[in-house]
Amino acid sequence: MTATDTDIDTETTEVSTAETTDASETARPDGGTPDAADSGTTDATRATDTSGRQSPAVAATGPGTDTLLQTDGLTKRFGGFTAIDDVDFSVETGELRCLIGPNGAGKSTLLKLITGRHDATSGAIYYDGTDITTRRPNERVDLGIGMKFQVPSVFDELTAYENMRLSVQRTHADAHLDEAILDALERIDLAARATTPAGELSHGQQGRLEIGMAAALEPDLLLLDEPVAGLSVEERNEVADLVTELNDDGIAFIVIEHDIDFVAEIAHEVTVLHGGEVFREGSIEAIRDDDDVRRIYLGGE
């Protein structure tokens, strides 16, 4: 492992909700890009080519498939270093997928490619029938992709209520806004701390607040980067219960996590990344029993 590899995978980033609150002012209501809208071209007209064949995005993730997200040969290079190498990765509608691997494996880089924080060097990303490879981050949020980054980045000076309002106001009319904010805080067990500045909340409470804010945008797919890092066992269990509850409500998840016990508690399927490539995929039981996975990640010989 090189220093460059580790730095790329663990870089500190800003919270998706905060960034997209500003960016949403430039988003089109239909989630389309300015170029597409200005030219009169829509996703609907791009779904088939002139011969009537389906586009790759529709074929991979459109109606009639169970696949919500699919990457096709996705590659990301930083100069001469390849962080993600020809990755084919998919998530089904309503699935809870965990992404594990040693430091520097490319996990965070893959999530940033999916959310648009990094541009792909080559390959494609298809989501719900749309090719989002070149879409801006705020457009991907409008299409239904949310993310909580590794480092809590709520607005410390704002109360829990005010932080939650930033998300809820995008999906609820003013007449029902207060009720919706309180309901969202109740769901993450922070209603009693509604008037508390976020900077005074515990690390675990801040993490739950961020997940709640991301969920309040009503995504179909929510990406979490190490949501239980640094948490106590009790706080970890609270996050596991919250993620499972949101998944039961229909939100699909991709969760990066090093805590294998947490992964075992929540995951439907597990993908192991190593050296920027998909190394193994399967159930947590199969992954734990794999000698090669233990060798590269879990500490086995």
282-294 per-position pLDDT tens digit: 999 999 999 999 8
Q: What is the spatial distance between Cα 111 and Cα 118, in angstroms, rounded to a whole number? A: 9
* Residue 180 counted as domain residue: no
* Residue 71 counted as domain residue: yes
With contact defined as beta carbons under 8 Å apart, do 258 and 104 qualify? no
* Residue 181 counted as domain residue: no
Structural domain boundaries, residue 271: 56-150+220-299
pLDDT confidence band for 276 (50 / 70 / 90): very high
* Residue 22 counted as domain residue: no
Q: What is the spatial distance between Cα 3 and Cα 40, in angstroms, rounded to a whole number? A: 47
Q: Label each residue of the chain as H, E or C.
A: CCHHHHHHHCCCCCCHHHHHHHHHHHCCCCCCCHHHHHHCCCHHHHCECCCCCECHHHHHHCCCCCEEEEEEEEEEEECCEEEEEEEEEEEECCCEEEEECCCCCCHHHHHHHHHCCCCCCEEEEEECCEECCCCCHHHHHHHCEEEECCCCCCCCCCEHHHHHHHHHCCCCCHHHHHHHHHHHHHHCCCHHHCCCEHHHCCHHHHHHHHHHHHHHCCCCEEEEECCCCCCCHHHHHHHHHHHHHHHHCCCEEEEECCCHHHHHHHCCEEEEEECCEEEEEECHHHHHCCHHHHHHHHCCC
* Residue 40 counted as domain residue: no
pLDDT confidence band for 298 (50 / 70 / 90): low
pLDDT confidence band for 300 (50 / 70 / 90): low
* Residue 278 counted as domain residue: yes
Q: What is the spatial distance between Cα 200 and Cα 192, in angstroms, rounded to a whole number? A: 13
Tens-place pLDDT, residues 164-197: 999 999 888 788 899 999 999 999 999 999 999 9
* Residue 134 counted as domain residue: yes
Report pTM. 0.82
* Residue 268 counted as domain residue: yes
Choice between 1 and 84, residue whose per-residue pLDDT is larger: 84
* Residue 137 belongs to domain with CATH number: 3.40.50.300
Q: In total, how many domains does the chain have? A: 1
